[in-house]
C-alpha cells in the first residue's frame, strides 16, 4: 500500500491548534492598504479560525504530517 501524502498547499496555509481548531491568515492584508479603512486593517491583523466540519476536512488533508 502506498504512503499517504500531505497536501503541501494546505500545510503551508493552515496550522492546527491544541484544541483542534485551524488557524489561517486572512486575505487582503499584503499591500494597497491606503485605500482600506483603519477598522478593516485592524481586523485583518488577527488570524482567522475555522471550527467544526470545515476544520475537520482541513485536518484530514494535513493528517500524515501531524
**pTM for the model:** 0.79
Task: Name the band, by pLDDT with cuts 50, 70 and 90, for residue 65.
Answer: confident
Task: Name the band, by pLDDT with cuts 50, 70 and 90, for residue 21.
Answer: very high
Which whole number is the average pLDDT over 60-64? 89
> Would the pLDDT of 41 be above 80?
yes
Separation between Cα atoms, residue 58 and residue 53, nearest integer Å: 9
Task: Give the tens place of pLDDT for each residue, 3-14.
Answer: 888 999 999 999
* pLDDT on residue 52: 94
Separation between Cα atoms, residue 58 and residue 55, nearest integer Å: 5
Right CATH for 8-65 from 2.60.40, 4.10.410, 1.10.3470, 2.30.110: 4.10.410
Separation between Cα atoms, residue 52 and residue 58, nearest integer Å: 10
Per-residue DSSP letter, 46: S
Task: Locate the domains of the chain by residue range.
Answer: 8-65
Hunting for cell 499591500 — which residue is that?
31
Amino acid at each position: 500500500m502506498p504512503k499517504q501524502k500531505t497536501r503541501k498547499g494546505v500545510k503551508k496555509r493552515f496550522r492546527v491548534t491544541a484544541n483542534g481548531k485551524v488557524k489561517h491568515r486572512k486575505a487582503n492584508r499584503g499591500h494597497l492598504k491606503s485605500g482600506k479603512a483603519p477598522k478593516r486593517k485592524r481586523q485583518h491583523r488577527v488570524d482567522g479560525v475555522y471550527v467544526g466540519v470545515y476544520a475537520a476536512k482541513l485536518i484530514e488533508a494535513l493528517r500524515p504530517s501531524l
